[in-house]
Amino acid sequence: GGGGQIVYNHHGFEYKDIWYNLKFSDLSRLINGEGRYGCPRANCAKTYKDASSLQRHIRYECGGMKKFRCIMCGKAFSQGSHLKRHLESGVCIKYYF
């Protein structure tokens, strides 16, 4: 039993992520003393001012696989919008052409 998304850490080992499917309504119990939503993962101290930002962090940034890779430099990103911003910055063009 137990839900969870199967994800891989940076060494390629598979594990079940119990936080991935955390319901939006359950995030309210993660509010810290400063009124911010804190990441529940042991090695992460990030906090956010709203629940949707924490949910995005849990699903795509903290422990999630980086699925979007720059074909020029190989740098990987957890969200397509971050790769797009990287490509638009021209950093790779400066160094690779």
Print pLDDT tens along the chain (97 aa): 444 454 444 444 444 455 556 666 677 778 888 889 888 887 888 999 988 888 888 877 776 667 788 888 888 887 788 889 998 988 877 665 5
pLDDT for the residue numbered 25: 66
Per domain, the residue ranges of the chain are 5-61, 66-97
pLDDT for the residue numbered 48: 92
Q: Which two tokens stand for residue 84?
A: 């797009």
pLDDT for the residue numbered 36: 92
pLDDT for the residue numbered 23: 67
Q: How would you classify residue 7: left for phi > 0, otherwise alpha for psi between -120 and 50, otherwise beta?
A: beta
Outline where DSSP puts E strands in 9-83.
14-17, 37-38, 47-48, 68-69, 76-77
The DSSP element (H or E) to which 54 belongs, if any, is helix 51-56
pTM, two decimal places = 0.51
